Amino acid sequence: MWKWQKQLAPAVNAAFQQVDRTQFIPEALAQYAKLDEPLPIGEGQTISQPYVVAIMVEALNLKPGHKVLEIGTGSGYETAILCEVTAQPDQPKGATVYSIERIADLASQAENRLHQLGYFPNLKIGDGAQGWPEAAPFDAIIVSAAGPKLSEHWWQQLAENGRLIAPIADRKDEQFLWLITKQDGEAEWNNMGEVRFVPLLSSLFDTVH
């Protein structure tokens, strides 16, 4: 169904075939669901562009059973993709997926639709910049909103050999997607190109008070 600019790993492709994006957007926008573009989901937020979700998920190199933390549940679309790629036989889909959303209404709508579709990730309402210390360490962390820097908490909650992908905005709000890997406790940064995400709002970054 999706035609990407580059070929993706079979597991990532399969996840995108499984998850119907129409289920995650307002009914009035159903006709646009299959466009490779971000779309409004209410509360001034957007469902991410599928291709951007695809390259982020692919960069994390997720395997069944990997524990992954997502910041910014939004519609739950990317959450469902994460549930698919980490699914293990005989386990509910989403058992190793953790996702945090700061807007309670979006979080509860996402929860309802994920449950209806048979996904049971661990969901929490709160400031994702704090991470989810009780569930750490994570094999992977995926951030879906752009902050001015990397949260120290994410870095601490990332497992050895773990992968973290996050858009980071500079003062002019130019955003780049960074893939950060942890090897022997050291960070290696890879710039994956320019992107456009909604802001990550957190008292940690003084972007919300």
Smallest gap from Cβ 185 to ligand SAH, in A, equals 26
65: left (phi > 0), else alpha (psi -120 to 50), else beta? left
Question: Please, which residue, 157 or 202, has the CB nearer to ligand SAH?
Answer: 202
Question: Which amino acid belongs to residue 149?
Answer: K
Question: Six-digit token pair at 57?
Answer: 């998920």
Tell me whether residue 48 is one of the annotated catalytic residues: yes
- The total of other beta-carbon atoms located within 10 Å of residue 86's CB is 26
Smallest gap from Cβ 184 to ligand SAH, in A, equals 29
Question: Please, which residue, 121 or 128, has the CB nearer to ligand SAH?
Answer: 128
Quote the DSSP letter at residue 197: -
Question: Please, which residue, 72 or 121, has the CB nearer to ligand SAH?
Answer: 72
E strands present in the chain? 39-42, 45-47, 68-71, 97-101, 122-125, 138-143, 158-169, 175-183, 186-195
Q: Does 175 bind ligand SAH (CB under 6 A)?
A: no
Site string for ligand SAH, 101-140 (x = CB under 6 A): xxx--x--------------------xxx-----------
Summarize as ranges the residues that interact with ligand SAH (CB under 6 A): 45-48, 71-72, 74-75, 77-78, 100-103, 106, 127-129, 144-145, 198, 200-202
